[in-house]
Amino acid sequence: MPARIGRDDFQTEVTSSDVPVLADFYSDSCIPCKRMSPILSQLEEEYSGRVKIVKINTNFEKELVAEHDITAAPTLILFVGGQEVTRIRGAAKKEDIKAILDNI
């Protein structure tokens, strides 16, 4: 299961990470977010050691939401070398996320 992180962990877990990081900005009350959760768990297992997956709750992490211009949940942002390289707004299919992860 992807780790849940917040403002205090963001620098260590995302910005300074040696591997690419897929950050899931989600809300507990969001049905599409709940549907994405098992997909992200599967991807975390499949890409273990190559990609880190983290979850950021938009209800509690308002600073990160504003800083990264999150306007909808779920929003997935792929960070490479601490920089955003791509983003997916809304629910995504596993195949679509894999296509992005396979090209980094």
DSSP assignment of 57-75: ETTT-HHHHHHTT--SSSE
> Looking at residue 101, what is its pLDDT?
97
CB 6 within 8 A of CB 56: yes
Would you say residue 1 has pLDDT above 90? no
- Residues assigned a catalytic role: 30, 33
Would you say residue 15 has pLDDT above 90? yes
Position 81 confidence tier, pLDDT thresholds 50, 70, 90? very high
Residue ranges of domains in the chain, CATH in brackets: 3-99 (3.40.30.10)
> Looking at residue 82, what is its pLDDT?
95
Beta bridge partners of 22: 53, 78
Nearest-angstrom CA–CA distance, 34 and 45: 18
> Looking at residue 89, what is its pLDDT?
96
Position 29 confidence tier, pLDDT thresholds 50, 70, 90? very high
